[in-house]
Amino acid sequence: MKNNIRITGGKLKGKKISFDFKSSLRPTSSKLREVLFNWLQFEIQDYQCLDLFAGTGALGIEAISRGAQKTVFIEYNKRNYLVIKKSISELDLKNQSMILFKNGLAWIRENDLSDFDLIFLDPPFNQGYEKKVLELVNKNQNLKSSCKIYVEFSKFIDIDIPDSFKVYKEKIIGDVRALLLKNEN
């Protein structure tokens, strides 16, 4: 079954991103995306973004729509990867995007993160990915001191935030808790 989500702001405002509905795919709500990008509205211009566990690609596409220079999308589900690829093509964002069919944990372990100003971390819920990825990012010696990390997870669980990250903004909408973290190194 095909569903759509709308881009909430920027040059692509109102455009739709199609995705295959399934219980394992939980796109960030438009309300939460608006909150996030209101937090970032005065600084997202020219950002390099990483959309890890990209799913529908909505966070990374919205970032480009609102002025980010580029987004690297990492997705390990073949169907989701192909849908993101199609969305990027339909929205004419190929020059501002890189889409990789990779395991997010393995990719972040093996790659330099020094280019990224913002990392979107919205993995499948209740599988412990948030903690693992934050630990890996924390260990990455190349992380920009100004890098921000957006983390989305179930409000019913607690995650340990490494000491090197400070909670800059926080919001709960429905059963989702969202944090914007700042690197304090």
Per-residue model confidence (pLDDT) at position 24: 56
Please say whether the beta carbons of 69 and 96 come within 8 A. Answer: yes
Tokens 């589900």 sit at which residue?
77
Round the CA-based radius of gyration of the chain to a whole number and report it.
15
Per-residue model confidence (pLDDT) at position 101: 97
Q: Provide the token pair at 80.
A: 């989701």
Q: Which of 108, 105, 107, 118 is nearest to 182 (CA)?
A: 118
Q: Which residues of 122-132 are buried (b: 16+ CB within 10 A; e: fewer)?
A: bbebeeebbbe
Per-residue model confidence (pLDDT) at position 26: 64
The whole-model pTM stands at: 0.91
Q: Provide the token pair at 70.
A: 């580029």
| CATH number of 92's domain | 3.40.50.150
Tokens 């983390």 sit at which residue?
151
In the predicted model, what is the mean pLDDT of the chain?
A: 87
Which structural domain, as residue segments, surrounds residue 39? 2-183
Cα 176 from chain centroid?
15
Q: Provide the token pair at 138.
A: 């924390």
Tally of domains in the chain: 1
In a structure prediction context, what are the per-residue pLDDT tens digits for the chain, which is 185 residues long? 567 788 888 898 888 887 766 655 666 677 788 888 889 988 999 899 999 999 889 999 999 999 999 999 999 989 889 989 999 999 999 999 999 999 999 999 899 899 999 999 988 777 778 888 888 888 877 888 889 999 988 888 888 888 888 999 999 988 888 999 998 76
Per-residue model confidence (pLDDT) at position 27: 64
Q: In 21-175, at which residue ranges do the beta strands (DSSP E only) sit?
A: 48-52, 70-75, 97-101, 118-121, 148-154, 165-173
